[in-house]
Structure 1
Amino acid sequence: MIEGKTLRSDLQHLSRALRTLHKALLDVETQYFGNVGSALEHLQLVTSHPHFAWLQKLSGVISTLDECLDDEEALVVDLERRFRTEVEGLVGPLPASDDDFRQRYNAMLHDSPEVAMAHGALRKVLAQLPAAPRD
C-alpha cells in the first residue's frame, strides 16, 4: 500500500474502476445484442441471458469486493493482493483464470475505445496495489 493511503481507500478505488469497466463492457454487449426494451428487461437479460453470461465473472468480483468493503473485519492486509491477482487473472497480464472471459475481453479492448480507456484506468489502480509474490 502507498504511504498515506488506507486499505479501504485503495479497495474503493478498485471498486470504482471495476464498475466503470463493467458498465463499458455491458454497453458494448448491449449494442451487440440489439434492442433490449425497458430497463427492467435489460436487467433481466444481463442477469440471465447467455449472451451476457461471460460478464458474470467480473460481476462476482465486484460483488465480493463490495461485500468486503461493507465488513470491517474482512478488511485484512492481504486483501489488496488477492483482488489484484483475481482481476489480473481476468483482464491480464496474469495467465487467464477463465479463457472464455479473456478472449471476449480482449476482443472488446480492440472494439471499444470506452473499454480501452476503462481498462487503462483500472491498470493504474491495480498498479497501486501490492502484487502477488513471483515464484
Structure 2
Amino acid sequence: MGEFFDGNVDEESLAPNQWGNRGPTLVDIAARLRLLSQDADVVWVRVGLHPDVELDEPDGDVAAEAILITTTAPAADLEDRINVTWLCSDGIFESDDSSLLDYCEVPEISGNERIVFLLWD
C-alpha cells in the first residue's frame, strides 16, 4: 500500500472513472485501509493496479482499480468496518481464480482465508 499511497497526490489515481463521485481523499482512504490491515482477521491489504498501467515507464501514470484484501471476515462485516458508503465504493466482492489473473505477485493464501476486492466501478 505504501508504494501507491505514500506521497501520491493524484486523487484520480484510484478508481479514476469515479473521481468527482468519491468523497474521501487518498490520504483518508489509505488511513482507513491501514487501520483495516491491523485487524486480526485480515492477513494483508494491497492495491490492485489497473491492467493498462505500464510499470516500466518511469514517469507513467499509475492507476488503481481495486483494493485486494485477504481475510477470513464476511464481506458484509468488512463493508461495515471500512464504511463503503463513506468511501463511495460499490462494496466488497468475492474473487475467483480468474479474477486474480490480472494481478501479479499475489501471495499464497492458506486455511479459510480468501481474497476479496474493494471496488469502485
Tell me the TM-score normalised to structure 1 length. 0.31
Higher relative contact order (CA 8 A, sep 6+): 1
Going by fraction, where is helix more abundant, 1 or 2?
Answer: 1
Q: TM-score, normalised by structure 2?
A: 0.33
